[in-house]
Amino acid sequence: MTELLPGDTRMGRVSLDVADLDAMTAFYRDVLLLQVRAERSSEIDLGRGDETLVALRHRPDLPKGERRSAGLFHTAILHADRASLAATLVSVAIRTPELYTGAGDHLVSQAFYLDDPEGNGVELYWDRPRSEWHWQDGRVLMDTLFVDAGGFIGAHLTDAARDYLSTVPDRRGVLAGLDGTVGHVHLKVGDAELARRFYVDLLGFELTAEVPGAVFVSAGGYHHHMAMNTWRSDGVGLRAPGLGLGRVDITLPDAAEVARAAARLRPRGVQLRDTSATVEFDDPWGNLVRLTSAPRNERYQRST
């Protein structure tokens, strides 16, 4: 039986290779209300509080990624509460309504979807309390039901957020009270069963849900930390170099757990690039994954 990832595993930052660093920075900062946490000549880290959620790397030399290829389906930003989520939604509605793509009540959460300016998917969501989640035969019950975005905003937007968003059109400050993390990451892959074998049987996530063409996996009884689907990518092979997903980080509680995961993967033929604190590897479609024991501000490199 595969050893499981520890229960306090969580997702770390998602790194994106982008063509227009200024425009993408403006989107994640001014529309999604993330703070710039670090700036280098060709890289920007954005997040909330002490944590980087999205790292942008300027790669104008790369071609635009193919819609049907493996890669990122969406980065899901988990908001601490409905007020924080409502504030972000209003910012989207004011500044980039054309990028909004829809919403869904998933029973465990309420989620709203959009694309960033270069076509990378984004989910904005909040979780219902775990006591309200329902499980059957080891699988969490999820669905996609209607959500009235306007009604959600009307019920949960605070007066302070409304005043801030309506009176500061080109803000560089921070809207007080916003918090969030990368709650989960959803990938495009070529084979859902192979994805299950890789992320569950090899890496050590637990399978929490399956739907046609997709699997959902987690650690510690979360509804899902990662999902992999074939809805736009059934049968595809290795990704070609291109804009979009650079790397997905998975944060383990300490360096010993990183080493333990590496010890499981190496004998199974997974090619690892490791340092004293991190381990990197490609999944079967060339999606780059890094295991780390703490958020880091270092640059990331893809081996060629």
DSSP-assigned letters across all residues of 130-171: GGG--EETTEE----B---HHHHHHHH--HHHHHHHHH-TT-
Give the pLDDT score at 211: 96
Length of the chain: 304
Q: pLDDT at position 297, please? A: 43
| Within-domain flag for 258 | no
Distance of CA 151 to the CA centre of its chain: 26
Q: Is residue 269 part of a domain?
A: no
> Into how many domains does the chain fold?
1
Whether residue 143 is contained in a domain is answered as yes
Tell me whether residue 26 is in a domain: yes
Question: What pTM, to 2 d.p., does this model score?
Answer: 0.94
172 Cβ neighbours under 8 A, 6+ residues apart: none
CATH number of the structural domain spanning residue 142: 3.10.180.10
Residue at 109 is within a domain: yes
Q: Considering the domain boundaries, does residue 299 fall inside one? A: no
Q: According to the model, what pLDDT value does residue 267 have?
A: 94
pLDDT for position 65: 85
Residue 173 CB-density burial (10 A; 0-12 exposed, 13-18 middle, 19+ buried): exposed
pLDDT number for residue 167: 72
- Tell me the residue range of the domain where 41 lies: 10-238
pLDDT at position 187 is 98
Q: According to the model, what pLDDT value does residue 169 have?
A: 54
Residue 171: predicted pLDDT: 53
pLDDT for 67 equals 83
Q: What is the mean pLDDT of the chain?
A: 93
Positions of the chain with pLDDT lower than 70, given as ranges: 1, 168-177, 294-304
Does residue 287 belong to any structural domain of this protein? no
User: What is the predicted pLDDT for the residue at 38?
Assistant: 95
Residue 261 maps to a domain: no
pLDDT at site 243? 98
